[in-house]
Structure 1
Amino acid sequence: MSSPDNKQKTGKKHSPKVATILSILFAGLGQLYNRRYIKGISLIVIEIAFLLTALQSLNYGIWGLRTLGTIAGTDHSIRLLVIGVLSLITIIIVAALYVFNVYDARKQAKKIQNGWKPLKLKDTIRVAYDNTFPYLMTFPGLLLMVFVVIFPLIFSVLLAFTNYNLFNSPPRNLVDWVGFDNFVELVTVPIWQDTFISVFAWTIVWTVVATTLQIALGLFLAVLVNDPRVKFKKIIRTILILPWAVPAFVTILIFAAMFNDEFGAINRDIIIPLIGGDGLPWLSDPLYSRVAIIMIQTWLGFPFVFALFTGVLQSISKDWYEAADVDGGSRWQKFREITFPHVMFATAPLLIMQYAQNFNNFNIIYLFNEGGPPVRGQNAGGTDILISWVYKLTFDTNNYAMAAVISIIMGLLVSGFAFYQFRKTRSFKEEGEI
């Protein structure tokens, strides 16, 4: 039998540097050097299988991503772009596994050098299962996210740097990389510049005004119904939540008919009897169309906010209001110092998402009047917001590259705003840090 001193000397001879070099040369060799035979053989088999089956495909994918094809009519640029993005994602995943292989070999070699003895096979399987269980459970979701979120995101970003449009559509024509030309055209070419400024400004106004109105109306009604003097609270709450129960697209289509310039109930039964004439041009004038859409969104959005605020208001302790009464606080002071801060603190993340949702609220814009009416000198309608403009560029004019450019700008705006506001509202802090 070997003495503990001999075991310690054997461990000292075990070199992490050697294990690292071997694992860099070929995945699994470092594990074999560490006498982790099952793991080492598994990694070797995986790398051999990868080199034999996927290396040529990945090389073709990277070639396609770099060139987007060389022979018009034969090479399909968009198909090559898709294969190239998938190859790029695969390479990143394989590189991450290879780095893990090197890190694992070096880490285990250091433990062996310090006198650690490998566990028996049964104990190794148990420890490995305990340590990897959370990763095994999250792996399907991660894999789904890669192909449902990350892949389309990378594809759309890369598309913004090409000239993919109606006149450069494969397989008849090849798509080329054009760098930042699309971004430059968006802010320099008159028709693109005017349209972008107009649509972007209206998108901001629409988001701020419509969302603020629905939040303000929901808060006002919630505070009103929560007043102790109001009777039949359950019936009133049920009535106020009813607009939420009706599918939004049904409500929008009904309102579109009601706001029709010629036969709509708003003009025929309300506007004309009051002011005469032919009524207001709700669908043919951009200003009136925008006012109508804001009112409709306020109607659609306030029930959710009302229900949200109603639940929060009932959680506020009555002792706070009684203490305020003792101090002689007015109704406005109690609302400003107690009700409003408590409600905003509890619901701020959800309210922020209301702004982000309305920023990309395609349904109401398209279903009401398809982003119209037309505007002279622009390739977007008077009520088009960025998301509906992207839709038209994609499906009506087939200008995919410019649609991708605008999508990138939208994504940066929404994510930047949401991240900043979440930080400000302390949504990312732990409970003990608040």
Structure 2
Amino acid sequence: MQVKDVKKAQRLSIIPGLGQLYNGQTIKGVGFIIILLAFIAEFIFGGFSAFANLVTLGSVSMEDNSLFMMIYGTLQILLTIVFIVFYIANLYDAKHVAQLINNGKKVSHTFKELGASLVDGGFAYLLTTPAYILMVFTIVFPVLVTLLMAFTNYDFAHIPPAMLLDWIGFKNFTSMFFLSSYRATFNAVFGWTVIWTVCATTLQIIIGIATAVIANQNFIKGKRFFGVIFLLPWAIPAFVSIMSFSNIFNDSAGAINVQVIGLWNTLVPFAHIAPIHWMTDTFWTKVAIIMIQGWLGFPYIYVMITGILQAIPEDLYEAATLDGATVMQKFNKITLPTIFAIAAPIFVTQYTFNFNNFSMIYLFNQGGPGDVGANAGGTDILISWIYKLTTGTSPQYSLAAAVTLIISVLVIGISLIVFKKTHAFEMGD
């Protein structure tokens, strides 16, 4: 057996493929060299100019498209990162294979042996690697473009190719927090987004837990019937329900004002209720969409909690009954802790979903009524404000990108903190 110099193998792999050739893996070495040459050719004929254009964003209007330059530059960044990962893997591979040879282990040399090695030892990587590569270019790529866009002056006065874009640093972020007009709008929209997220999500969780606990009681008859009824809001497409509720809450002809309040005034004339301005008064619009989201969102919680309740041993409740525990004590000491222990991460996802629940806000009343400035309506949340910033008569693409980044940081940061506190990522016993 020929002993391989591990350090030499790793030094040779500074040029990808040479370390593999030194280890006797001709096919792998030639493949690595081809990848190296392909990247060098791509960088010479396109990559270098892509990086240069990303820095300058063009110099001649109507000839240089700054947006395309940004996109191509971002793509080149990702390609370079992928090559760097490959390069590091190549260094590790040369060293690892040399160690295997010195330890008397068999390494692959032919196509057949390479295929068998991938199937036996790297099947999981073989399956997941294409998914990771696809994720890089379908998820990371758009996010990175948005990140870069937030640091430009991409607005209605600078739309490529008629106008060139310029790098402006953190100006969009400073404008949002320190420029009076944008600061007031951001504070109003962000404040309502937090209120909406907390109230709507908490309401749907409370309704879901309450219906599941009540329906799970032994004395309740027709559980299947109630189960079907509770699932109806989930079965009907959300946009259909929201548009229907938009008509139901109509100020002048909606069922709430005409039928429900009208019937109340007929039956209880001494407690007369005036028609409520659901669609034209910001406060009542907010109340309406919170109630609607509670109705739309509780079935999912109901189904999940029902499964959790059925998994709680009856012995716990029987023992608590023998100890003299009341219904509320059993709920507080057994049912609720079990629910939160299992479902806390799911509850977090419900909060993050509603934080970006565009359809509920926009379909009900287009984010109105009222106007809090910078194209934002009285009930707009951050995500619907972003939509209006990019589709209005005076689009502010870079500002919308900056708001998007703030949303991402908030949602990801809070989610990670809560997941860590609830041990959602732990796979212990």
TM-score range, shorter chain: over 0.9
Choose from 9, 12, 21 the match for 1:32.
21
Matched, 1:419 2:409: no
* Residues in 1 aligned to 2:381 and 2:116: alpha-carbon distance in whole angstroms: 56
Q: Between the two proteins, what is the percent identity of the paired residues?
A: 43
Aligned equivalent of 1:284, options 267, 280, 284: 280
Question: Is residue 194–residue 378 contact of structure 1 (8 Å, CA) maintained in 2?
Answer: no
User: What is the aligned partner in structure 1 of residue 67 from structure 2?
Assistant: 78
**TM-score of the superposition, structure 1-length normalised?**
0.92
C-alpha distance in 1 between matches for 2:105 and 2:221: 74
Name the residue aligned to 2:321: 325
**What is the aligned partner in structure 1 of residue 268 from structure 2?**
none
Which residue does 1:367 correspond to in 2? Answer: 363
**Cα separation, partners in 2 of 1:191 and 1:284, compared to 1, 3 Å:** same
Q: Give the aligned partner of residue 150 of structure 1.
A: 140
Instruction: Say which SS state the counterpart of residue 367 (structure 2) adopts.
Output: coil
In the aligned structure 2, how far is the partner of 1:347 from the partner of 1:160? 36
Which segment is superposed worse, 110-119 or 203-212? 110-119
> Would the aligned equivalents of 1:161 and 1:180 in 2 still touch at CA under 8 Å?
yes
How far apart are 1:129 and its partner, in Å? 3.6
Is the contact between residue 23 and residue 31 of structure 1 (CA under 8 Å) also seen in structure 2? yes
Query: Which residue does the alignment assign to 2:177?
Result: 187
**Are 2:49 and 1:60 aligned?**
yes
Q: Does 1:200 align with 2:160?
A: no
1:359-392 per-residue CA deviation (whole Å, 9 max, x = no partner) reads: 1100010000000012254531110000000110
Select which of 54, 79, 101 maps to 1:90.
Answer: 79
In the TM superposition, 1:42-53 aligns within 5 A as 42-53=31-42
Instruction: Tell me which residue corresponds to 1:238.
Output: 228
Q: 1:115 to 1:235 in 2, by over 3 A?
A: closer
Deviates more, 1:377-386 or 1:192-201: 377-386
Q: 1:119 to 1:180 in 2, by over 3 A?
A: closer
Query: How far is 1:419 from its partner?
Result: 1.1
Distance 1:330 1:51, change over 3 A: same
Cα distance in 2, alignment partners of residues 28 and 173 from structure 1: 46
AA aligned to 2:134 is L
TM-score (norm 2): 0.93
Aligned length: 421
The one-letter code sitting in structure 2 at the alignment partner of 1:422 is F
Question: Once the 2 structures are TM-superposed, how far is the Cα of residue 98 of structure 1 from its aligned partner?
Answer: 1.4
User: C-alpha offsets along residues 4-33 of structure 1, whole Å, 9 cap, x if unaligned?
Assistant: xxx5xx62xx43333333221x22122222
- 1:300 matched to 2:296: yes
> Equivalents in 1 of 2:63, 2:251: separation in Å?
52
Matched, 1:15 2:5: yes
Instruction: Give the letter aligned to residue 363 of structure 2.
Output: L
1:356 maps to 2:346 = no
Please state whether the residue corresponding to 1:431 is helix, strand or coil. coil
In structure 2, the partner of 1:260 is 250
Distance in structure 2 (CA, Å) of the matches to 1:232 and 1:239: 11
Report what 2:376 is aligned to. Answer: 380
The equivalent residue for 1:270 is 260
Out of 382, 402, 405, the position equivalent to 2:402 is 405
Partner of 1:107: 96
Q: CA distance change for structure 1 residues 111 and 73 in 2, over 3 Å: closer, same or farther?
A: same
In 2, Cα distance between equivalents of 1:245 and 1:120: 56
What is the Cα deviation at residue 112 of structure 1? 4.6
Q: How far 1:55 sits from its partner (Å)?
A: 3.0
User: How far apart are 1:115 and its partner, in Å?
Assistant: 6.3
User: Which amino acid counterpart does residue 425 of structure 1 have in structure 2?
Assistant: T
**Counterpart amino acid of 1:95?**
I
Alpha-carbon distance between aligned partners in 2 of 1:80 and 1:281, rounded to the nearest angstrom: 49
Cα distance in 2 between the residues matched to 1:317 and 1:23: 60
- Which one-letter code corresponds to 1:318 in the other structure? E
Gap change, CA 1:341 and 1:267, over 3 Å in 2: same
What letter is aligned with 2:241? T
Shift of 1:236: 1.6
User: Per-residue CA shift, 1:91-147, capped at 9, x if unaligned?
Assistant: 111111112222222333345556667566454552244223222211221122112
1:312-342 Cα offsets, whole Å, 9 max, x none, are: 1122111111101110000110000011111
Q: Which runs of 4+ in 1 moved over 4 A?
A: 110-120, 122-125, 275-278
The 1:55/1:327 distance shift into structure 2, 3 A limit, reads same
Deviations 1:140-160 (A, max 9, x none): 211221121110111111110
Does the C-alpha gap of structure 1 residues 115 and 238 become closer, same or farther in structure 2, counting only changes over 3 Å? closer
**In structure 2, do the counterparts of structure 1 residues 119 and 50 end up closer, same or farther at CA, with 3 Å as the change threshold?**
closer
Distance in 2 (CA, whole Å) between partners of 1:431 and 1:117 is 36
- The answer to whether residue 237 in structure 2 is matched with residue 247 in structure 1 is yes
Aligned letter for 1:79?
F
Asked whether the 8 Å contact 1:192–1:378 carries over to 2, the reply is: yes
Q: Any unmatched runs of 5+ in structure 2?
A: 266-270
Q: Which amino acid aligns with 2:146?
A: S
Take 1:118 and 1:322, find their aligned partners in 2: how far apart are those partners?
Answer: 62
> Taking structure 1 as reference, are residues 129 and 313 closer, same or farther at Cα in structure 2, changes over 3 Å only?
closer
- Tell me by how many angstroms 1:187 deviates: 0.6
Render the CA deviation track for 1:49-92: whole Å, top value 9, x for unaligned.
Answer: 33234532111211121111111111000101110011000011
